[in-house]
């Protein structure tokens, strides 16, 4: 009887603990689950974005996101979630930069971005994307773009000067 109660309690704990993590990542506009892989365009080229291993910078654990451009160029970026924010590690400046709010609100500004819309729709050459988060980015160089994120996938499109320059290509 004691074994049954202990086993049931352990299973319930695992289901609640690990179930919540997978649900929150599935419902996240910026999922950081090892193994997630998707194809996007960048102007006329395609690249693969893959969530890889974790790495530690200055005592904080980050998840590596690799953008793999054929034939052999890879750009690595590093992100971590803490409380209600996704942070980016700037390797050049060695700083932890707030990048993305996990619970976005229209008008909210985080680092270089301002949330413009939650629940947007966007038509791409590969189809209509719905229930998107739209963030307008402004960079120190003076450049701007608009980024679109989908729950469970992350970045799915980028517009620059009103022109679609990047979009998700379903596998």
- Domain-located, residue 85: yes
- The pLDDT value given to residue 26: 74
Pick 19 or 114 by higher pLDDT. 114
- Domain-located, residue 136: yes
- Domain-located, residue 7: no
User: Would you state the structure tokens that stand for residue 104, as one six-digit string?
Assistant: 């976005």
Q: Using one digit for the tens of pLDDT, what is the confidence trace for 32-72?
A: 999 999 999 999 999 999 999 999 988 999 999 999 999 99
Question: Which residues form the domain of 48?
Answer: 37-169
Q: Against a cut of 0.85, is the pTM above it?
A: no
Q: How confident is the model at residue 24 (pLDDT cuts 50, 70, 90)?
A: low
Mean pLDDT of 79-86: 90
Question: For the chain, how many structural domains are there in total?
Answer: 1
Pick 17 or 107 by higher pLDDT. 107
- Domain-located, residue 18: no
Q: Using one digit for the tens of pLDDT, what is the confidence trace for 112-166?
A: 889 999 999 999 999 999 999 999 999 888 899 999 999 999 999 999 999 999 9
- Domain-located, residue 153: yes
């Amino acid at each position: 009887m004691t074994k049954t109660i202990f086993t049931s309690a352990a299973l319930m704990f695992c289901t609640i603990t690990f179930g919540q993590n997978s649900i929150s990542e599935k419902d996240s506009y910026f999922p950081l689950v090892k193994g997630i892989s998707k194809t996007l365009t960048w102007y006329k080229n395609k690249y693969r974005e893959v969530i890889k291993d974790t790495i530690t910078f200055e005592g904080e654990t980050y998840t590596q996101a690799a953008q793999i451009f054929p034939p052999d160029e890879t750009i690595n970026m590093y992100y971590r979630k803490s409380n209600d924010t996704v942070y980016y590690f700037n390797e050049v400046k060695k700083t932890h930069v707030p990048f993305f709010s996990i619970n976005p609100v229209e008008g909210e500004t985080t680092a270089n971005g301002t949330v413009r819309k939650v629940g947007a729709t966007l038509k791409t050459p590969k189809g209509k994307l719905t229930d998107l988060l739209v963030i307008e980015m402004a960079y120190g160089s003076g450049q701007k773009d608009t980024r679109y994120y989908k729950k469970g996938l992350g970045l799915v499109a980028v517009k620059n000067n009103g022109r679609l320059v990047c979009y998700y290509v379903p596998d």
